[in-house]
């Protein structure tokens, strides 16, 4: 049974690289890149907001992929369930961060804390889809039962996100007002601003991988503990005791 996603050496390297990239991001994003002509220094939040959004969707994609691999009989393995769950937890943090940063950015630039921009709304729905998934992960059930239900829920949510995105985008373009507010990746961005953005994406991706390994190992430790409790319960039962059903979470 694999109890980690990468060798300790690799994880340390990733961690250090993430730290360096984050440092470079702060340096370039805060000091080197010029302030935006229209939005001023507030625009620098984009260097965090856009990578965070990228990570939110990446993490969600990994959760969906892990769920699919878990459900597929030939690749079924607890590894994929753990990856899905770990990625979802990190993803919900990044999604929340995206929404928060978007809000902080919007206030000075648009004058409002929130705008019904298509992508913000889709991200908000994504956030709630994640929360539902995390709620489902906490149910008291046997590991494989829980894994199956969570995997199906994750895949349904994954299928739903493009539908949400499409319908919301369509809805908001019919209400032509969002064109003034364009906080998204502008294709015409150049120079140090583009550098800062890519540094952000790099740093956050490294951070994600680092956190994923940590969270994965935590999940493994959790399962080990449950397995040991179960073996103790079986041994206890064989010897004639009847361990309290509530104590070991019997469900019926």
Q: Does 68 bind other proteins (CB under 8 A)?
A: no
DSSP string, 65-79: HHHHHHHSGGG--HH
Q: Are 129 and 96 in contact (CB under 8 A)?
A: no
Q: Are 155 and 67 in contact (CB under 8 A)?
A: yes
Question: Using CB under 8 A as the criterion, what x/- string covers residues 163-202 for binding other proteins?
Answer: xx-xxx-xx-------------------------------
Contact residues for 183 (Cβ-Cβ < 8 A; gap 6+): 46, 49, 102, 105, 106, 109, 117
Question: Using CB under 8 A as the criterion, what x/- string covers residues 124-163 for binding other proteins?
Answer: -x--xx-xx--xx--xxxx--x--xx--xx--xx-xx--x
Based on CB atoms, which residue is closest to other proteins, 8 or 240?
A: 240
- Structural element, H or E, at residue 163: helix 143-174
- How far apart CA 214 and CA 15 sit, in angstroms, is 11
Q: Give me the least distance between CB of 59 and other proteins, in Å please.
A: 17
Q: Give me the least distance between CB of 145 and other proteins, in Å please.
A: 5
- How far apart CA 182 and CA 46 sit, in angstroms, is 11
Q: Does 73 bind other proteins (CB under 8 A)?
A: no
- Residues contributing to the site for other proteins (CB under 8 A): 125, 128-129, 131-132, 135-136, 139-142, 145, 148-149, 152-153, 156-157, 159-160, 163-164, 166-168, 170-171, 226, 229-230, 233-234, 237-238, 240-243, 245, 248-252
């Amino acid at each position: 049974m694999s109890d980690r996603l990468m060798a300790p050496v690799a994880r340390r390297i990733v961690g250090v690289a993430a730290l360096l990239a984050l440092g470079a991001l702060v340096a370039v994003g805060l000091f080197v890149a010029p302030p935006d002509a229209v939005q001023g220094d507030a625009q620098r939040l984009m260097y965090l907001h856009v990578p965070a959004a990228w990570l939110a969707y990446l993490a969600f994609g990994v959760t969906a992929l892990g769920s699919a691999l878990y459900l597929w009989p030939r690749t079924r393995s607890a590894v994929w369930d753990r990856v899905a769950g770990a990625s979802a937890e990190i993803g919900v943090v990044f999604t929340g961060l995206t929404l928060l940063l978007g809000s902080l950015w919007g206030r000075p630039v648009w004058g409002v804390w929130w705008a019904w921009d298509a992508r913000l709304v889709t991200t908000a729905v994504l956030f709630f889809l994640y929360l539902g998934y995390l709620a489902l992960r906490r149910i008291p059930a046997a590991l494989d039962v829980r894994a199956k239900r969570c995997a199906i829920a994750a895949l349904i949510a994954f299928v739903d996100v493009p539908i949400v995105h499409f319908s919301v985008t369509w809805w908001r373009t019919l209400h032509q007002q969002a064109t003034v507010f364009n906080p998204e990746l502008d294709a015409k961005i150049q120079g140090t601003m583009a550098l800062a953005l890519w540094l952000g994406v790099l740093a956050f991706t490294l951070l994600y991988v680092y956190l994923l390994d940590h969270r994965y190992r935590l999940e493994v430790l959790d399962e080990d503990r449950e397995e040991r409790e179960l073996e103790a319960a079986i041994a206890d039962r064989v010897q004639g005791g009847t361990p309290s059903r509530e104590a070991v979470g019997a469900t019926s």
